[in-house]
Structure 1
Amino acid sequence: VQPAEDPCQTLEACINKNVQLISIPRSNEHVRAGAECEVAGWGRTSLTGKGSNVLREVELKVQNEEICHNKFTNYQPQSMICVGDDSGKKGSYNGDSGGPLICNQKAHGIASYGPKGRLFPKVFTRVLYFEPWIREQLRRFSFQGLPGSPSSD
């Protein structure tokens, strides 16, 4: 019998003091313009620099929807959040896509896109819009591997 492979030595994430679970918002937990949120990522640290070799975090504010609506023709407020530092001095950038927008200790957004060569404004996917689908996928996933479930055969 071979010893079980340690999942922390593979590509799987292991919960520890540096890696924790985070909740997603429920249908009554909307994030509004003016909310202070954190964004984390390994993206570029300057407009011309390379990606970071350490996880970095920046505090950004949820912006009025009109800012992104006027800037991006495909901006859809029901499924997107307009975010940034209106001074344009800090923000998410190339390499940060897919990272979380954390507001009130919940993952409200996912870094998506912004104007080329600029830090403001940025568009994040609105997690709340996809919350029913996410919860359904989590339910389906939790049944995988249970004896007798259709997905474990």
Structure 2
Amino acid sequence: QIREPRVIAEVITGIILGPSVMGQIPGFTAAIFPPAGMAPFRLAANLGLVLFLFRVGLEINLTYLLRNWRITISVASLDLAIPFGLGVAVAYGLYNEFAGEPGTAPISFGLLALFIGVAMAITAFPVLCRILTLLKLLN
């Protein structure tokens, strides 16, 4: 047993099934994820995410958070700042590698950095909640 949280296996499975690995096989994405079935799939995924985060919010002890407000603010800030910073670093590499390539739309570095940074920051929170839930650190 590897002793990693199950969410790590779920993320790795998503990477493998996504466009990075299996999506490179011609016809794989259209066969496994047909375009006609994607709208209900996205709806179910978003609904599941909203309900999961709602449940996590119900389990948070507000008195404990207010009593330890310094720790709460520092953890919340780092939970957003670290993925955002990593996203800006990824955007820097992507911008330097692909800016001005034929077939790419012109975009400013600031806009690209903001987009990738925010995308990474907001997707890190549900993964963190899953890890905290699996480790039984939420109620």
| TM-score bracket relative to the smaller structure | under 0.3
Which has the larger helix fraction? 2
Q: Which structure would you say has the larger RCO, counting Cα contacts within 8 Å and 6 or more residues apart?
A: 2
Per the normalisation by structure 2, the TM-score is 0.25
Which has the larger strand fraction? 1
